[in-house]
Structures are given as C-alpha cells and as structure tokens.
Chains A and B, each alone.
Chain A
Amino acid sequence: MTLPPEILRQSVTRDGEKISNACLAALSSSAMRLLKPHLIEMELTEGTVLWSSRGSTNDIYFPASGLISVVLAMSDGELVETASIAREGAVGPYFDPDQSDYLTTGIVQVGGHFFRISASSLISAANKNRQIRDLIGFCKDWLLVQAQQIAACNAIHPADKRFCRWLHESAQRMETANIRVTQELIAAALGVRRTTVTLIAQSLQNNGLIQYKRGKIAISDMRLLRAAACACCNVLNRRHWPSMRLRAAIPP
C-alpha cells in the first residue's frame, strides 16, 4: 500500500485523533527513504493479538493513533501489562530479527492506525542510518523504563491510583482526552478483575474526573486525574519518550 507522505511526516487530525507516529515524524528525509518502502499501513481493532509466546512473525509496530499493550501471561492465565506504546514509540516482540522465543504478548489495547515493518527490514535500515539506530535504542530504553517502573507500581500502589496513572499516561501519549477502551482490557492491563475496574471508574465519574460509557472513557479533568494517579506519572513522562529523545538527537 502506498503511503501518502503527510501520514508519515505530519500530525494529521482525523475525528479528533492524531494519526501519525511521532518517531517516524521526527526522522529526517534520508532516514524515511530507507524505511518507507517497507512500512505497511494498517487499521487494527482493539483486542487484536499482534504477537504471543506461541509464536508469530517478528514485526515492529509504530502506532499512529492507537495503543499497544505489552503483557506477560502468567501460568494461571492472568495477564499483566509491563509496558504500553502509543504514537511516541514503536514496539514488537524483539527488535532483533533472529530472536523467536517470545516472552510477551502484544495486544491492541486501543484500536486505530498502525504502521508495520519487519524487524529484519528495520535492522537492515538501521545498519545504514544512525537515526534509525537511535530510534531502536530509544524504543528499547522506553520499554525497559516502563517495565521497571510498572513492576514497582504494581507492587506498592493501590488499584485506583494505578488505574488513574494508566488513563493519564494513555491520554498523554495518544494526545486525546477520549479513549476508546473496554473495562475488560483495562482490567487485563492492571491485572485486576473487571468488577474492580468498573467500581473504580464509577467512583471517578461520581467525583467528576471522567465520564464513561461502554467502550469509551472521556477524561473530564486531566489535572484532577493526574492528582489522583500514583507518583509513577512523574517518572514515566515525556522526557523518556523515544520521539522526544529522537527529536533532541536529530539536528534541525
């Protein structure tokens, strides 16, 4: 599929959504020329499994408007999120194309537009271009930072504060106050039951922080939501985003 250049390079708003990936938008024309022939644009719906420990092709996804959740499946079948990626980064089972023993599962948490490239094509382009090498490094760092912070967060913070943190971060990274996500998927991300998420969401709605309908959460007051979230919001901020680091590393 031929990609219109504005999709890749600019933040286009469609129905109030940003539909470009900020990492791809930050790359220079010479770097984009290497990637563009291999990028495939696709629309994915929530709940789509992109990769799992049962195996799949090693592809890297650049979200343009949705959100991908990286989860670990426990032996009892429960899922716990270790990281999530929106338009600020890219994610796949491994950036190394030779790796095939996947530990994690990638699930589309919020449906939208995505760009896909095979890990081998990405690595091949990275071997020719420093910016793409940086992009991969920053994306790996971002996954590691999130995994470390979320591990601590899950251990010591209560479910309501983690819910607020998840919602605040997702809204920041997708640059929207309206998130199309089911409570079942949030429950899976936080490693709690759906009833727990519903009761917390109802309480936040009663207090004027959010409004929720089936499959959609609208944030009414971002400032209050941030205040209700755990302190992990202060750590997992823009300065760790691959897109921000890439912009800082690439001379104008």
Chain B
Amino acid sequence: MPLYYFVLKDGRQIIPDRDGEEFADRGAARDHAVAVARELMRNGSLHVHNWRLQVCDEYLWPCYELLFPSIDDSLSHLPFEYRRSIEHACRNTALLHDSIADVQRSLLQVTETLIRADQIMDRISFGASPSPARSA
C-alpha cells in the first residue's frame, strides 16, 4: 500500500510526521487527515482556525491540503456565506503565512550569502596585503 505523510502548518512552524502511514488510496489518506485534524481541533482554542494539514505522497509531493475551518463543526450553525467568508479569510491568512515564511527563507539565504561574501573578501584582502611576517 502507498505511504502518505502528514504535515501540520500552524502559521508559525511546519510540523512533519516523519513516520508516515500506509493507506489504500488518496481518499483513505484524506479521511485520515480529516480525523487527525478533528482530534487536534477538539476542545482547542480559536487559533487552530489558521491551521492546515497537508497530505503528501511517498515522494513528499503535496496531494491535498486540509484547512481546519472547512471541517469545524463549531461553525456549522453559521449561514453558508459566513462559513465561506471565514474559510476564505483563513485561506488568505494561510497564504500570507506561506509568503512570510518564503520571505524569511529568502532573507536567511541572502544573509548567508553576504556572510560568505564577507569571508571571501576578508581572505582576498588578507592575501593581497603582505603579512608582517612575510615583509620581514
């Protein structure tokens, strides 16, 4: 049976289930994701509304992403258009979190590149100017 991995995104961190689990097909993996999301959401606070659970195949390719508000029974009393607005807002918040995470990753890479560039420049300038030992 194919292996599926589950990745929780809570807006601050990405939390992977590194063990994965075998399921007959994507539908069964999706049902499992829904059950896990319900367990994480049960008796929880409102901040879980920004959470998502991603289902990845055995090559870690994302095949499905579950937004917690889409299965939240505590919202079921609301009119359909309200629920859609909440889902829409949560999806946008999730996208914003993804964008912020991308920007943070890019900044980290730029910082690392600059540090490496500084180190190279230091080595070049050190090599160019004669050291006191050599000049002596």
Contacts and interface: CB of A to CB of B under 8 A. Distances in A.
Interface of A: 155-160, 192-196, 198-200, 202-203, 206
A217 to B, nearest CB: 15
A94 B39 CA distance: 32
B39 A193 contact: yes
B21 interface: yes
Contacts of A158: 40, 42-45
Interface of B: 6, 8, 10, 13, 15-19, 21, 32, 35-36, 39-40, 42-45
Contacts of A200: 40
B44 A195 contact: no
A200 to B, nearest CB: 8
Given A195-B6, A195-B32, A202 B17 contact: yes
B6 A156 contact: no
Contacts of A156: 43
A159 B42 contact: yes
A76 to B, nearest CB: 13
B32 A193 contact: yes
B54 to A, nearest CB: 11
A198 B17 contact: yes
Given A155-B43, A159-B40, A202-B15, 11 more contacts: A157-B43, A158-B42, A158-B43, A159-B39, A159-B42, A160-B44, A195-B17, A198-B18, A199-B36, A199-B40, A202-B17
Contact of A193 (B8, B13, B18, B36): B36
Given A195-B6, A195-B32, A206 B39 contact: no
